[in-house]
Amino acid sequence: MTPLPRILAMALLLVLAALLATLAAPHFSRSRPDPAATPSAGGVRPAAAAKPAQLAGLAGRVSLGIAAVALGLSILLVFTVALRPGRAPETKAPFADVRTEMNTLTRLAESTAAQGEELSRERDVRRRAEEDANFKQVLLAQSLEEKIRLGRDLHDGIIQSLYAVGLTLETARVLVHKDPAEADRKLEQARAAINASIRDVRAYITGLGPENLRRAGFAHAVDTLLAELQAGRETRFDVKIDEHAAALLSAEQSLQALQIAREAVSNALRHGGASLVTLRLHHSDQEVCLLVQDNGIGFDAASRRDGGHGLNNMHARAERLGAALKITSRPGEGARVIATVPVVPPASAS
């Protein structure tokens, strides 16, 4: 409220108080006894009786004037309050601020949504790039593993066969003058071994190695590789193959076990100079055991901890099968190779 309405209100209050006091004055005058107006023993005084009437007339005129002033003040106060400026500008400002804030929030929400979509697209692009990289890494690992497997198969299969052919030809060269018939037989044996190597290469190319082994049988495959590796040496082989144990092996397990046996026998003949090689295949409840033992010169297993390609290949093949491979040897005491392959018997598998 402005100062003018307050001043008018205080003035009106004072005027009303004065009016109330003026109206109450005659009443107090009449109610208070006047000694001068008391009649004496001789009669009533007329002058004293006329005084209250004069006071009442004067109070009425004063009250009328005060009432007129109060009416004027009241009218002026009403017009002052009514003509005060409104609060429209004050009420419009908050709504304008709210609209501004809402617009700001809307723009912020739109910007946040756009940034979220951009981040989502970036995540998708990154995820696809990671998937492509992982896929390429898997392909590279598979290619590398295939190259390693091929190299291992060539070393343990074809190279050993060709080495045996070379020994056979060397024996035939020595016998060509002493015993032409025996030399001719060795040459025929070398020719057959070369043809077998050619078939092995074709089998590796077409991926039919395990299937060929399964059709021929594990015992027959062992006899074939021993005859091939002997190459005219005066070496005896003590072989016992449990057919039931061989039947427990899968095609892949049979192939890997045969390659381990090939490498062990080849090492015994080439490096150990063994005259007796023992080969066993038997089984227990949950595993099949392959043993290759020779009476060659042996070697210091502690000093050849890393091994050559042959020893590393045997360990790699055993690991591929989930098998345990143990190689023990001492100088002058030959060598022993034991591969234990975990299997599930047919009765338990059903």
Q: What is the CATH number of the domain that holds 232?
A: 3.30.565.10
Tokens of 250: 């899968």
Could you tell me if 187 and 250 lie in one domain? yes
Q: What is each CA distance from 9 to 12, 69, 70, 83, 284, in whole angstroms?
A: 5, 13, 10, 16, 119
Structural domain count, the chain: 2
Q: Is residue 320 part of a domain?
A: yes
Could you tell me if 144 and 281 lie in one domain? yes
Q: Is residue 321 part of a domain?
A: yes
Could you tell me if 336 and 189 lie in one domain? yes
Q: Is residue 313 part of a domain?
A: yes
Could you tell me if 77 and 140 lie in one domain? no
Could you tell me if 223 and 332 lie in one domain? yes
Q: Is residue 178 part of a domain?
A: yes
Q: Is residue 129 part of a domain?
A: no
Q: Is residue 109 part of a domain?
A: no
Could you tell me if 72 and 214 lie in one domain? no
Could you tell me if 326 and 216 lie in one domain? yes
The 3 state secondary structure assigned to 7-65 is: HHHHHHHHHHHHHHHHHHHHHHHHHCCCHHHCCECCECCHHHHHHHHHHHHHHHHHHHH
Could you tell me if 168 and 62 lie in one domain? no
Could you tell me if 151 and 297 lie in one domain? yes
Could you tell me if 189 and 303 lie in one domain? yes
Structural domain that includes position 6:
1-29+57-81
In order along its 350 residues, the chain shows pLDDT tens digits of 466 766 767 776 777 777 666 666 655 555 555 554 455 444 444 555 455 666 666 766 777 677 777 767 777 766 676 666 555 445 455 567 777 877 887 888 888 888 888 888 888 888 888 887 776 776 666 556 656 666 666 666 677 778 788 888 888 888 888 888 888 888 888 888 888 778 777 665 554 455 555 556 888 888 888 887 776 778 899 999 998 999 898 888 888 888 899 889 988 988 888 999 999 999 988 899 999 999 999 888 776 545 556 788 888 888 888 889 999 998 988 999 999 999 865 554 44
Q: Is residue 87 part of a domain?
A: no
Q: Answer whether 0.75 is exceeded by the pTM.
A: no
Q: Is residue 228 part of a domain?
A: yes
